[in-house]
């Protein structure tokens, strides 16, 4: 059964990248350079080979990656590492042939490991990534890039010096509906971008059961500032990357408010955030997240003067699809006696309660929509594809263009969002953290 799923996944992946090569005469591969290493021709180069990879951090997200790795034909999990024995045992049950370690430094000495996958708390990302690159390993790390801006800069500089591949799990960059949505945005379908609205709502405390009090900060690391950037680094990182991808540049200023509104349980990170990012031309990202109400779920909306792309659902809407001339609408509503008083001015408007916008699909066939409620990961959200790309890089040595830079940019925006909320002031993007990749 697992072998059938592996073949099915591989065929689906190959077909997807084959289609990308044909779209817009291949122009998409120019505007999304990280996909160049994923052409059908490049995939053929690794057919029959296996990248020997190791997982550092065997918690729920790490185990999610193991399930995906087992379906990637050019991947073999040869080692596992965690200093928390229950997690290590659970991972070993999934990959019984893998060697196990409790010290990641010992794992990095293993000559039979081509690449490492890091799925640890945020404060461990920087030291582990830097050590893995120094040990000569291709490296894949969960988002966000690092806990501090200085650590992000250190990783970026190390990456520029190394010949090893480095990936961060910015999976929307490899999600079919996001890729095709961006192709339409950049082709001018929805006109000029005039705003962006992103939100992520859940109703869960983020807290995990702790078998012993001394393990509280290790197991519930997301709740404490020394190890977590809260909602911004855990959720917003993905969505801010999408907005910069759409705009092709970075916002200049950030302002926001954050509070602990509901989960007053000793946590240090906000459970309710609102942040606005402003670009040089006045276009803004309105970002909102809270974890005490799930009604609105998750959405990434790019608003143009001609239409709107809702990336999360894989659909777009055009402004003029349902617009009714004002006089015609007046007559209809008058005949149906739906208006108590007829307005006498205004050339036209849309009656939102009468008829919804017409949705157009970004992707042919069924679309996998992520509600945003899972704290581990969702099926078909691009995580398996970017992981497969990493395993391919372990075999070819080819770096994926722009992935590190996009992770750097979005992580810094998250950290600056936290700073703006903590200091209750408008933050300008700091000069010392600008890199040549950035456009403002």
d(CA 260, CA 13): 42
Q: Where are the domains of the chain?
A: 2-173+380-403, 193-370+407-433
For residue 104, the SS3 value is helix
Q: Is the pLDDT reported for residue 277 higher than 70?
A: yes
Superfamily of domain covering 193-370+407-433:
Dihydrodipicolinate Reductase; domain 2 (3.30.360.10)
Sort residue 107 into left (φ over 0), alpha (ψ -120 to 50) or beta: alpha
Q: Say if CB 196 and CB 301 are below 8 A apart.
A: yes
Average pLDDT over residues 368-377: 81
Encoding tokens for residue 86?
């229950």
Q: Place 337 in a pLDDT band, splitting at 50, 70 and 90.
A: very low
Q: What is the pTM of this model?
A: 0.89
- E strands present in 344-394: 348-349, 360-361
Residue 323 CB contacts under 8 Å (≥ 6 apart), including other chains: 348, 350
d(CA 240, CA 77): 32
Encoding tokens for residue 338?
């739906």
Q: Say if CB 43 and CB 50 are below 8 A apart.
A: no
Give the pLDDT confidence score for residue 371 in this predicted structure.
80
Give the pLDDT confidence score for residue 341 in this predicted structure.
40
1-5, 273-277, 322-326, 394-398: the lowest-pLDDT one = 322-326
Helix, strand, coil fractions of the chain, as percent rounded to 5: 40, 20, 40
| CATH number for the domain running over 2-173+380-403 | 3.40.50.720
DSSP annotation of 347 reads S
Encoding tokens for residue 361?
């699909």
Q: Is the pLDDT reported for residue 11 higher than 80?
A: no
d(CA 28, CA 182): 9
Residue with tokens 């969702």: 378
**CB contact burial 110-143 (16+ within 10 A = b; e otherwise):** beebbbbbbbbbbbbbbebbbbbbebebbbbbbb
Q: Is the pLDDT reported for residue 4 higher than 80?
A: no
- E strands present in 21-69: 51-56
Best mean pLDDT range from 153-157, 364-368, 373-377: 153-157
Cα dihedral across residues 99, 101, 104, 105: positive or negative: negative
């Amino acid at each position: 059964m697992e072998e059938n799923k592996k073949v099915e996944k591989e065929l689906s992946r190959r077909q997807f990248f084959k289609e990308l090569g044909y779209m817009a005469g291949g122009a998409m591969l120019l505007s999304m350079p990280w996909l160049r290493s994923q052409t059908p021709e490049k995939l053929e180069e690794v057919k029959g080979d296996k990248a020997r990879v190791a997982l550092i951090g065997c918690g729920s997200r790490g185990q999610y990656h193991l399930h995906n790795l087992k379906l990637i034909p050019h991947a073999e999990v040869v080692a596992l590492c965690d200093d928390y024995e229950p997690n290590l045992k659970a991972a070993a049950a999934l990959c019984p042939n893998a060697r196990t370690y409790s010290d990641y430094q010992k794992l990095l000495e293993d000559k039979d490991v081509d690449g490492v996958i890091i799925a640890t708390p945020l404060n461990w990302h920087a030291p582990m990534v830097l050590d893995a690159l120094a040990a000569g390993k291709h490296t894949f790390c969960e988002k966000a890039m690092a806990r501090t801006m200085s650590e992000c800069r250190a990783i970026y500089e190390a990456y520029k010096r190394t010949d090893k591949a480095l990936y961060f799990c910015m999976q929307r960059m490899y999600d079919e509906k996001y890729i095709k949505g961006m192709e339409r945005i950049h082709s001018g379908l929805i006109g000029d971008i005039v705003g962006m609205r992103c939100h992520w709502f859940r109703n869960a405390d983020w807290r995990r059961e702790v078998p012993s009090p001394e393990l509280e900060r290790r197991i519930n690391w997301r709740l404490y500032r020394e190890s977590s950037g809260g909602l911004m680094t855990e959720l917003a990182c993905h969505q801010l990357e999408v907005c910069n991808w759409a705009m092709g540049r970075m916002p200049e200023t950030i302002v926001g408010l954050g509070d602990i509104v509901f989960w007053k349980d000793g946590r240090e990170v906000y459970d309710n955030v609102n942040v606005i990012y402003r670009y040089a031309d006045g276009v803004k990202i309105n970002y909102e997240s809270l974890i005490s109400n799930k009604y609105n779920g998750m959405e990434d909306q790019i608003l143009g003067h001609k239409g709107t792309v809702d990336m999360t659902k894989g659909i777009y809407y055009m402004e003029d699809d349902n617009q009714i001339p004002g006089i015609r609408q007046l007559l209809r509503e008058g005949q149906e006696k739906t208006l108590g008083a007829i307005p006498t001015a205004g050339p036209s408007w849309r009656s939102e309660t009468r008829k919804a916008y017409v949705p157009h699909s970004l992707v042919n066939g069924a679309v996998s929509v992520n509600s945003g409620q899972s704290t581990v990961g969702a099926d078909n959200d691009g995580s398996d594809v970017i992981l497969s790309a990493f395993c391919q890089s372990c075999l070819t040595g080819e770096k994926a263009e722009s992935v590190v830079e996009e992770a750097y940019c979005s992580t810094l925006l998250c950290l600056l969002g936290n700073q703006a909320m903590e200091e209750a002031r408008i933050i300008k993007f700091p000069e010392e953290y600008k890199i040549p990749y950035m456009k403002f």
